[in-house]
Amino acid sequence: MRTNKKSLAKNFMFNFIKLSGRMLFTCLLLTQVHVLGQNKTNEKTCVECHKRTVKNNILHGPVAAECTNCHIPTGMEHPLEDVEGFSLLAEGSDLCFTCHEEEQATIASNKYIHKPVSQGECLECHEVHSSNDPKLIFSKSPDLCYFCHNEIEKSVEKSSVVHQPVKEEGGCVGCHSPHSSPEKKMLVSNPKTLCLSCHDKTLIKGDRKIANIDSLLKKSKMVHQALNKSCNSCHDPHASENEYLLSIYYPTGNYAPGTEDNYELCFGCHDTDLLLLETTEYATEFRDGDRNLHYVHINKEKGRTCNNCHSVHGSSREHLIPETVKFGNWNMPLVFKKTENGGSCKGCHEEKAYVR
């Protein structure tokens, strides 16, 4: 009996140890499987799951460095459906400004802010992870700009004359700041300076020659007052149905019927009495007594247009009177002399004098 009891106890201990060993092995095995799986998950990078976010050629700096620059772990297991494993460091433009502090300061210092920027919607124009553009924009202007400014797109499509920069890829940002500006319309500088930054040389477009306006104005004794406002007083900066991008039709030849409609562009500033009154003592200084000489020249079926006697931008002479007038291929000399109470003119006709 004793032997049997010892044998039973020995067998019991053996079986207990064996069973315990198996249980310990099983626990270790299960633990190891979990750890291996966890390690495998940890070794997996964000990019392995989110390949589409980095599919383009240029990576946003924080993306190339470390995703947690913008995305903060919440402590929740990731990835799981309907579980937010990460939150953003900040929302909207506040997140962008954690790095782009200099741009934030520039925007704050300017009077005019592009609407998407003021609303904190940087992603209206910029990709957040990767792009094929160095500025991380969705596409080049003008296509990018047309997403919001479709009225400009329609104008460009239907117009016979389009400003050259508008046609060029990236052309919009040559004139407009995409974020903020001290100037209206988000212009990169005041309108006159901006226009003259390109029109400071003679431009050749096909068979057309566009004069060096900057040089002309610098040499001029008198500059058209409309330019004190901006070139947009007469020209559309994007597109027009009229020659020279004029915002309103104007007869650019030597002759045209003398109607108000034909000179609507001029009458945006000048009084129509200059055209309509045959006699006057106030409507114009170009009169002989009270005989209105503007009326004499313009108000008829074959009236002389304004550019027969006036330079539209500037002139070395008073009253914007040019030295020569273009008649076909002929640069006709225009001889004008001013007197204390009138003057004389010779060019289209023999010298004729007038006295107010």
Kindly tell me if the per-residue pLDDT of 17 is higher than 80. no
Residue 34 pLDDT exceeds 60: no
- C-alpha 168: how far from chain center: 12
What mean pLDDT is predicted for residues 25-52? 52
DSSP 33-82: HHHHHHHHHHHS-HHHH-GGGG-SSEE-HHHHH-GGGTEEE-SS-SS-TT
**Is a pLDDT exceeding 60 seen at residue 235?**
yes
pTM: 0.79
Taking residues 71-97, report their average pLDDT. Answer: 91
Return the exposure string of 105-140: e unless at least 16 CB atoms fall within 10 Å of the residue's CB, then b.
eebeeeeebbebbeeeebeebbbebbbebeebbeeb
Q: Does position 3 have pLDDT exceeding 80, yes or no? A: no
Q: Is the pLDDT confidence value at 14 over 50?
A: no
Which two tokens mark 321? Answer: 């009177």
Least confident of 39-48, 124-133, 272-281, 292-301: 39-48
- What local confidence, expressed as pLDDT, does residue 64 receive? 87
Given a cut of 80, whether residue 22 has pLDDT beyond it is no
Per-residue pLDDT band at 260 (split at 50, 70, 90): very high
pLDDT tier at 12, thresholds 50, 70, 90: low
Find the mean pLDDT for residues 290-304: 97
Per-residue confidence (pLDDT) for residue 47, from 0 to 100? 83
**Residue 238 near residue 157 (C-beta atoms within 8 A):** no
Residue 218 has pLDDT above 70, yes or no: yes
pLDDT band, residue 202 (cuts 50/70/90): very high
pLDDT band at 21 (very low <50, low <70, confident <90, very high): very low
**pLDDT greater at residue 15 or residue 164:** 164
- Sheet with strand 352-355: strands edge to edge: 335-339, 342-346, 352-355
Stretch 322-329: mean pLDDT: 91
Q: What is the mean pLDDT of residues 70-97?
A: 91
**So what's the pLDDT on residue 15?**
52
Average pLDDT of the chain is: 87
pLDDT tens for 129-176 read 999 999 999 999 999 999 999 999 999 999 999 999 999 988 999 999
**In the structure, what pLDDT confidence band is assigned to residue 79 with cuts at 50, 70 and 90?**
confident
Q: For residue 208, give the DSSP letter.
A: E
Characterize 320-350 residue by residue with b for buried, 16 or more Cβ atoms within 10 angstroms of its Cβ, and e for exposed: bbbeebeeeeeeeebebeeeeebbebebeee
